[in-house]
Amino acid sequence: MNDSQTPEFVYDKEGKKHEVVDFNNDNTGSKLGFWLFLFTELMLFGAMFLVFCFYFFRHGSDFVHASGSLNLILGGTNTLILLISTYFMGISLLHVKENKIEKAKKTIYITIFLSIVFLVIKYFEWMAEINHGIYPDSEVLNALSKGEILFFGLYFTMTGFHGLHIIVGIIVMIWVIKLLNQQKISSEKYVLVENLALYWDIVHLVWVFLFPLFYMISFGGVS
């Protein structure tokens, strides 16, 4: 029944044919499932953005002030890096669709490399704050105003969560490369790569909102 590759049909009373969806081999279903998963990601980050908005509304000037101490250049570079990496992720999907497996692997390697660069830059940014004594519950931070404490609390939490998503993405990319090597992904069967590309887009999309909220609210204004 389901292990046969030929599609199964049922006939209605007029004798018309209708195809039965094979639950073991349903790419549309896998993609739909992944979209639903992305909705949960949106709700997850959405709730954090809600918290951010709430405290930004309450401590506007403190937030702007604290934002001034973040490095806009490094943050901007990271935005650009992530943008380029989504481009390569998308290209690799196209390559897989056209069955250019070697090229696809190359572009995924580039994506992995760019994500690692992103994480390294992120590490230096975090360390810059931490070396100034600014990390959750530190004495320096607790001595600052309440708005600044909340800003940095949210900064570490939200960029931390985003970084975690990058790491998960890298792991899945390595897995995809393994499957490409084993020829388990082909131009016939590539729903995993498609879902990975979708995931990578949302990781980028979240950053596109994180960047202005944390880095740019002080831009061109308060010192």
Partner 1 sequence: MSDLHEKTFYDETHTVFGHHKSKLFQWIFSIDHKRIAILYLIVMMSFFIVAILVALSMRIELFSVGKQIMEADTYNQAFTLHGTIMIFLFVVPGIPAVFGNFLLPLLIGARDVSFPRLNLLSWWLYMFGAILAITSLFIGQGFADTGWTFYAPYSVKTGTNVIFALSAAYILGLASILTGINFVVTIHRLRAPGMGFFKMPLFVWGLYSTAWIQILATPVIGITLILVIIERTLGIGIFDPSKGGDPLLYQHLFWIYSHPAVYLMILPAFGVVSEILPTFCRRTIFGYRSIAISSALIAIIGYLVWGHHLFTSGMSEWTKIIFAFLTFFVTIPTAIKFFDWIATMYGASIVFATPMLWVSGTIITFAIGGLTGITLVTLGVDIHLHGTYFVVAHFHYTIFGGVVFMLFAAMHYWFPKFTGKMYDERKAKRAFYGIFVGFNLLWFPMFLAGAFGMPRRYYDYLPEFEIYHRVAGIGAIITIVSIFYMLYVLYKGLKEGKSCGNNPWDSTTLEWQVSSPPPLENFKHIPYVDFNPYEYEKGKPKNDLTNYIKRGKYE
Residue 147 near partner 1 by CB under 8 A: yes
Rounded to a whole number of angstroms, the minimum distance from the CB of residue 94 to partner 1 is 26
Q: From residue 162, how far is each of 39, 72, 139, 147, 179 by CA, in Å?
A: 16, 18, 26, 22, 26
Of 207, 206, 211, 197, the C-alpha closest to 86 is 197
Which residue in the block uniquely carries the two structure tokens 């195809």?
A: 19
Binding segment toward partner 1, per CB under 8 A, in 63-71, 81-89, 102-110, 139-147: 139-147
| Shorter beta-carbon distance to partner 1: residue 46 or 133 | 46
**From 44, 80, 83, 208, residue interacting with partner 1 (rule: CB under 8 A):** 44
| Dihedral over alpha carbons 145, 150, 152, 153 (to 10 degrees) | 140
Q: Is 25 in the site for partner 1 (CB under 8 A)?
A: no
Q: What is the largest CA-CA distance in the chain?
A: 79
Binds partner 1 (CB under 8 A): choice among 25, 61, 99, 142: 142
The burial class, CB within 10 Å (0-12 / 13-18 / 19+), for 86 is buried
Contacting positions for partner 1 (CB under 8 A):
1-2, 8, 10-13, 18-21, 23, 26, 28-30, 32-33, 36-37, 39-41, 43-44, 46-48, 50-51, 54-55, 58-59, 136-137, 142, 145-147, 149-150, 153-154, 156-157
